[in-house]
Amino acid sequence: MNEALELDKETIAKAYARWAPVYDLVFGAVFERGRQAAIAAAERIGGRILEVGVGTGISLPDYSPANRICGVDLSEPMLRKAQERVEELALSHVEGLWVMDAQRLSFPDASFHVVVAQYVITTVPDPEATLDEFARVLKPGGEIVLVSRIGAEAGLRRSLERWFAPAARKLGWRTEFAWQRYAQWAEQTQDMRLVERRAVPPFGHFCLIRFAKHAATASTCGQAVDRRAVA
């Protein structure tokens, strides 16, 4: 599949080590609306929240102190910035920060009420395996909250995304990522269903996406098809 080409953990880790010193300056304001939308969605559920790809911890001060926040990231330099932020701002609601691969989370099943991943899914080597991990560590009745890029289906933007794709991979992300991949994952994953998809700034290229885990039974990822997913 073209959209999965040439992204690997080493490339991603090196890219974000380079971004760490300037990430907040470059992306802080640009992605602010998406971050706030994700936090608001997560706090409608509340409880113990896992933020995957927590980066420099720019979101951490904005979560309510009533929740418990855990953060993981593949990049140790980014997490050092996040830990400095936690200490400087005395963020007592942050339970812990860990260097961790999103595809192999070291948490037990059903550990979190919400899993948040902002601008993450298009940067991992295997997006579907990563979503499977999110579903595994999610409690029944909980939600996965994504802010993620949606690739263009046609037109000039689609052509530009294809042209820029090789350079984007060197920077640690994909420009091309079809909505169908999110929809198919929800359809094929037991106990998970799509409950919201809406555009968020900037530029209309990103969406807030919410998947809910059925409350009746715990999920066994990747088995039966749930045809109740919302298109």
Of 77, 90, 87, give the one whose Cα is nearest residue 23: 77
What is the per-residue pLDDT for 223?
Answer: 41
What is the per-residue pLDDT for 141?
Answer: 97
Band of pLDDT at residue 116, cut at 50, 70 and 90: very high
What is the per-residue pLDDT for 122?
Answer: 86
What is the per-residue pLDDT for 56?
Answer: 92
Contact by Cβ (8 Å): 190, 220:
yes
What is the per-residue pLDDT for 206?
Answer: 86
Q: Which amino acid makes up residue 177?
A: F
What is the per-residue pLDDT for 24?
Answer: 57
The owner of tokens 């933020």 is 51
Q: List, for residues 157-166, the tens digit of each pLDDT value.
A: 454 555 344 5
Q: List, for residues 164-179, the tens digit of each pLDDT value.
A: 445 445 444 555 578 8
Of 144, 83, 153, 151, give the one whose Cα is nearest residue 118: 144
Mean of the per-residue pLDDT values of the chain: 80
Contact by Cβ (8 Å): 113, 134:
no
Q: Does the bond joining 166 to the residue before it have cis omega, within 30 degrees of 0?
A: no
What is the per-residue pLDDT for 27?
Answer: 61
Domains, the chain, with CATH or none: 2-213 (3.40.50.150)
Which has more confidence, 197 or 205? Answer: 197
pLDDT above 50: residue 7: yes
pLDDT above 70: residue 130: yes
Give me the residues paired with residue 208 across strands: 147, 198
Of 61, 60, 85, 63, give the one whose Cα is nearest residue 71: 60
206-to-173, 183, 230 alpha-carbon distances in Å: 14, 15, 19
pTM of the model: 0.77
Q: List, for residues 27-74, the tens digit of each pLDDT value.
A: 656 678 889 999 999 999 999 999 999 999 999 999 999 999 999 999
Nearest-10 crossing angle of helices 76-89, 9-19: 40
210-to-155, 168, 174 alpha-carbon distances in Å: 27, 26, 21
